[in-house]
Amino acid sequence: MTVKKTILDSLKSRKFRFGGYATLLAVAALAIVVGVNLVVDQIPARLDLTQDRLYSLSDQTRKLLDGLDVDVTITTLGRPGTEDKLVKEVLDRMATASRRIRLETVDPETNPGWAKTYAKTGDLREGSLVVAVSETKFKTINRYDLYNYQMNQQTYQQEVTSLAAEQRLVSALQFVTAEKVVTL
């Protein structure tokens, strides 16, 4: 009987009450933090805090995307999930900015007929992009053209200096959406 009384007395003690309040407060704070994170995660807006605004579209690109009057499909060659993360970020931002942009990924190994249709203009490799309005009006972008390179004078190796995906995609969009195709 004394053990039971001791346990009951300890549950009524001041120490236990304050410990219980502290635990309850910690659990409530944790629940609030988790709830706020879940709500914020659902907001589609993203903030680009990089110094050169690497993940933001330029005003000119936004203007071009706003003015699109035809549907454009941008296809990445390769297995789904293996896309270049930086290029995919630019593509996702473009698709978010315009309802006329549709993104897809095609694996040329499982769909060789698709690759043959667009391989007329050059060698299509994994990571290349095809910007198309139709099967006859398209522009291909080699994966190596999505970055700017510079020769390292010490190692004589090409090094990536910056991302050029947005510029190449804008050029391709202007080409495929132009009313007249200019050839030199």
To which H or E segment does residue 116 belong? helix 112-118
* CB 97 within 8 Å of CB 59: no
Q: Is the pLDDT of residue 154 over 80?
A: yes
Sequence-separated (6 or more) residues with CB below 8 Å from residue 61: 94, 97, 166, 170
What's the confidence (pLDDT) of residue 49? Answer: 52
Across 30-179, where does the E strand assignment appear?
Answer: 72-77, 101-106, 129-132, 138-141, 147-151, 158-163
Q: pLDDT higher for 40 or 11?
A: 40
pLDDT at 121: 62
Q: Quick one: what percent of the chain has pLDDT higher than 70?
A: 80
pLDDT tens sequence across 48-90: 555 555 567 888 888 988 888 899 999 998 888 888 888 898 9
Collapsing DSSP states into helix, strand and coil, what is residue 67? coil
Mean pLDDT estimate for the chain: 81
CB-based contact 73:139 (threshold 8 Å):
no
pLDDT in tens, 79-97: 888 888 888 989 999 999 8
pLDDT for 32 equals 93
Classify strands 101-106 and 72-77 as parallel, antiparallel or unpaired.
Answer: parallel
Q: Is the dihedral of CA 127, 73, 52, 153 positive or negative?
A: positive
